[in-house]
Structure 1
Amino acid sequence: MAANQNSSNPISYAFGHFGTSLETLLLMIKGILLEYSSTLQLVTSMDLSDNNLAGEIPAGMTDLLGLRFLNLSNNHLTGRIPKNIGNLRLLESIDLSRNQLRGEIPPSMSALTFLGYLNLSENNLTGKIPSSTQLQSFDISSYDGNHLCGPPLLEICSTDATTSGDHKNNENNEGDGLEVDWLWFYASMAFGFVVGFWVVMGPLLFNKSWRFRYFRILERLEYKIRNGHH
Structure 2
Amino acid sequence: MWKGVEWGFKNPELELKSIDLSSNNLMGEIPKEVGYLLGLVSLNLSRNNLSGEIPSRIGNLRSLESLDLSRNHISRRIPSSLSEIDYLQKLDLSHNSLSGRIPSGRHFETFEASSFEGNIDLCGEQLNKTCPGDGDQTTEEHQEPPVKGDDSVFYEGLYISLGIGYFTGFWGLLGPLLLWPPWRIAYIRAIWISLRGGQE
TM-score by length of 1: 0.57
Matched, 1:149 2:123: yes
Please give the alpha-carbon distance, in whole angstroms, between the structure 2 residues aligned to 1:128 and 1:162. Answer: 16
- The equivalent residue for 1:11 is none
Query: Which secondary structure does the structure 1 equivalent of 2:70 belong to?
Result: coil
Matched, 1:68 2:25: no
Q: Deviations over 1:159-204 (max 9, x none)?
A: 3222112223x24x669x9xx98xx9xxxxxxxxxxxxxxxxxxxx
Query: Which secondary structure does the structure 2 equivalent of 1:136 belong to?
Result: helix
Please give the alpha-carbon distance, in whole angstroms, between the structure 2 residues aligned to 1:131 and 1:88. Answer: 18
Code of the residue aligned with 1:162 in structure 2: it is D
| Stretches (4+) displaced over 6 A | none
- The equivalent residue for 1:40 is 12
- The equivalent residue for 2:188 is none
Written as runs of structure 1 = structure 2, the 5 A alignment for 1:28-177 is: 38-41=10-13, 42-146=15-119, 147-168=121-142, 170-171=143-144
Native 8 Å contact 2:9 2:16 kept in 1: no
Structure 2: gaps of 5 or more residues: 1-7, 156-200
Using the TM superposition, give the Cα deviation of residue 67 of structure 1 relative to its aligned residue in structure 2, in angstroms.
0.2
Sequence identity percentage = 44
Please give the alpha-carbon distance, in whole angstroms, between the structure 1 residues aligned to 2:23 and 2:11. Answer: 24
Q: Deviations over 1:195-218 (max 9, x none)?
A: xxxxxxxxxxxxxxxxxxxxxxxx
Please give the alpha-carbon distance, in whole angstroms, between the structure 2 residues aligned to 1:161 and 1:121. Answer: 26
Using the TM superposition, give the Cα deviation of residue 51 of structure 1 relative to its aligned residue in structure 2, in angstroms.
1.0
Query: Which secondary structure does the structure 1 equivalent of 2:104 belong to?
Result: coil
- The equivalent residue for 1:194 is none
Query: Which secondary structure does the structure 2 equivalent of 1:144 belong to?
Result: coil
Please give the alpha-carbon distance, in whole angstroms, between the structure 2 residues aligned to 1:114 and 1:133. Answer: 11
Please give the alpha-carbon distance, in whole angstroms, between the structure 2 residues aligned to 1:62 and 1:74. Answer: 21
Please give the alpha-carbon distance, in whole angstroms, between the structure 2 residues aligned to 1:75 and 1:39. Answer: 28
Code of the residue aligned with 2:12 in structure 1: it is L
Using the TM superposition, give the Cα deviation of residue 132 of structure 1 relative to its aligned residue in structure 2, in angstroms.
1.6
Query: Which secondary structure does the structure 2 equivalent of 1:61 belong to?
Result: helix
TM-score by length of 2: 0.66
Between the two proteins, the alignment pairs up a number of residues equal to: 143
Q: Tell me how large the CA RMSD over aligned residues is.
A: 2.2
Please give the alpha-carbon distance, in whole angstroms, between the structure 1 residues aligned to 2:82 and 2:61. Answer: 9
